[in-house]
Amino acid sequence: MRLWGGRFEGETDEAMERLGASLAADWRLYGADIRGSMAYARALHKAGMLTATEHGTINEGLETILEEFEADAFAAVPGDEDIHTAVERRLHELIGEVAGKLHTGRSRNDQVATDTRMYLSERIASFRVAVRSVQRAIVAKAGAHLDVIMPGYTHGQPAQPVLFAHWVLSYFWMLQRDVERLDELAARVSVSPLGAGALAGNPFGVDRVELARELGFAQICQNSIDAVSDRDFIVEFLSWAALLGVHLSRLAADVVLWSSAEYGFVEIDEAYSTGSSIMPQKRNPDSMELVRGKAGRLIGNLVMVLTTLKGLPTSYNRDLQEDKPPLFDSVDTLLLILPVVAGVVGTMRVRSERMRAALGDGMLATDLADYLVRKGVPFRQSHGLVGEAVRRAEAAQVSLQELSLAEYQGVSDVFGEDLYEVLSFERSVCARDVVGGTAPEAVRDQLALARGILGSRNLTIKA
């Protein structure tokens, strides 16, 4: 069924039909589409464009169709271009000519925008839950390993000792920003275009505000031209997804690295590992590799929509049909990876002994420089002096702890016997006792703040 064939004489080319068809992609919008139609039917009734009987008939027909979809019993037929056509075609089969009254004053242009926004609003709620689950897993992990010291890295090189809990909490805050952004963009998704018609507005006096309210929208679009071509909410969502994907890819990179034989700081649970078809000994962190790789996909989806929108002339153009595949793909991708990330973090074994073993006292060189600073040496100078000590230790193939006082004093006579006291990982960690620092007290505060954000101190995450 073509909704638009009146003035056409010829047939549509078959390749063109394939190109234009979007039903497979649109299918998931059926719920939003039908509920949107129900609300619109009621609005037409209120506006005097449908009698009570007509309204009742249409509503019942739509309910039947919804049930068919829910029961997986809806049968598409050739010619069902998109979800709107399919539903209207079926409605016509069920209730006859009166079905043709449903689209009074409504265009697919405002309809599809409404459907997509309803769909995405629902998904946003799921994402909030899914991201929170990852945050909960992080907080639980941090809470269960508050005393574990590990090497902190910059440039991939040992830098300064930090708490494992401090490291894992660093991801809490990335995700926290994601949640904040999600809450903000949700408001811009929840805006109703319904009643914008093809581009100029609705001529039958439907009440757009009531329509919006009924469908759960928080606001309505203020300009009908903008309403039918605005895909900002999709771009904004895809930007969000891309950045979240980047965060998860960084966590994944860390976990892949730290579950390597050489680091061995964590062990990914077997439930999130796979083996090799050829190498019997392998235990691969596939879960986190896939998470890392998916970031590319999420970024690509964003580029797709931005590029498609770039330079597009005013109002609705069919190019906009290209918004949904990347949108749906990013939605699906995130719903695939978020539970896996939560599972990996929640179940991974922290091998504190390997972390401890990886601590070398070169990582305390800054503490040694700070020691000189406290004795009055300007930091830049003390940095140089300790650098010299490091060089001597390396040359002698000894640790900083093992370097003799004489050697230290050969570098600077400010060094005293008490220098050896600062060469302690615990002491180093405790020293960074500033808000957001790695000192146990500071991390405990940080954890409390994180728990407060999650809304509960009693988290029951399997760990």
Q: Which is nearer to a second copy, 51 or 67 (CB)?
A: 51
Query: Binding to a second copy by residue 250, rule CB under 8 A?
Result: yes
Helix 52-70 × helix 30-46 angle, to 10°:
170
Helix H or strand E segment including 243: helix 232-258
Give the three-state DSSP class for 267: strand
Do strands 266-267 and 219-220 pair parallel, antiparallel, or not at all (unpaired)? unpaired
Do strands 219-220 and 191-192 pair parallel, antiparallel, or not at all (unpaired)? parallel
- Within residues 37-56, the interface with a second copy by CB under 8 A covers 49
| Binding residue (CB under 8 A) for a second copy from 71, 78, 97, 418 | 97
Q: Which residue of the set 126, 276, 404, 456 is catalytic?
A: 276
The encoded tokens of residue 352 equal: 């504190």
Query: Binding to a second copy by residue 365, rule CB under 8 A?
Result: yes
Query: Binding to a second copy by residue 204, rule CB under 8 A?
Result: yes
| Residue 155 among the catalytic residues | yes
Query: Binding to a second copy by residue 31, rule CB under 8 A?
Result: no
Query: Binding to a second copy by residue 149, rule CB under 8 A?
Result: no
Question: How many other CB atoms are found less than 10 A from the CB of residue 168?
Answer: 24
Which residue stretch of 69-77, 115-123, 375-383, 455-463 sits at the interface with a second copy (rule: CB under 8 A)? 375-383
Rounded Cα distance between 46 and 35, Å, is 17
Give the three-state DSSP class for 49: coil
Least distance from a second copy to the Cβ atom of residue 292, Å: 5
| Binding residue (CB under 8 A) for a second copy from 55, 84, 90, 351 | 84
| Binding residue (CB under 8 A) for a second copy from 23, 358, 414, 463 | 358
Rounded Cα distance between 22 and 169, Å, is 43
Least distance from a second copy to the Cβ atom of residue 382, Å: 8
Rounded Cα distance between 457 and 462, Å, is 15
- x-or-dash string of contact with a second copy, 391-410, rule CB under 8 A: x--x----------------
The encoded tokens of residue 117 equal: 């926004």
| Binding residue (CB under 8 A) for a second copy from 25, 31, 74, 173 | 173
Query: Binding to a second copy by residue 57, rule CB under 8 A?
Result: no
Residue written as tokens 């998931």? Answer: 28
| Binding residue (CB under 8 A) for a second copy from 25, 76, 159, 459 | 159
The answer to whether 97 touches 18, Cβ cutoff 8 Å, is: no
Residue 188, burial from CB neighbour count under 10 angstroms (0-12, 13-18, 19+) = middle
Q: Which residue of the set 155, 383, 404, 428 is catalytic?
A: 155
| Binding residue (CB under 8 A) for a second copy from 52, 279, 397, 413 | 279
Nearest partner of 166 among 150, 177, 181, 180, judged by Cα: 150
Which residue stretch of 23-31, 60-68, 113-121, 223-231 sits at the interface with a second copy (rule: CB under 8 A)? 223-231
Query: Binding to a second copy by residue 460, rule CB under 8 A?
Result: no
# residues near a second copy by CB under 8 A: 203
Q: Which residues contact 47 (CB under 8 A, 6 or more apart)?
A: 204, 205, 206, 207
| Binding residue (CB under 8 A) for a second copy from 206, 327, 419, 423 | 206
- x-or-dash string of contact with a second copy, 297-336, rule CB under 8 A: x-xxxxxxxxxxxxxxxxxxxxxxxx--xx--x------x
| Binding residue (CB under 8 A) for a second copy from 107, 114, 116, 135 | 107
| Binding residue (CB under 8 A) for a second copy from 180, 402, 421, 441 | 180
The answer to whether 238 touches 148, Cβ cutoff 8 Å, is: no
- x-or-dash string of contact with a second copy, 9-28, rule CB under 8 A: xxxxx-xx-xxx--------
Query: Binding to a second copy by residue 77, rule CB under 8 A?
Result: no
| Residue 382 among the catalytic residues | no
Q: Which residues contact 305 (CB under 8 A, 6 or more apart)?
A: 231, 234, 235, 238, 322, 323, 326, 327
Give DSSP secondary structure letters for 167-203: HHHHHHHHHHHHHHHHHHHHHHHSEE-TT-TTTT--T
Q: Which residues are catalytic?
A: 155, 276
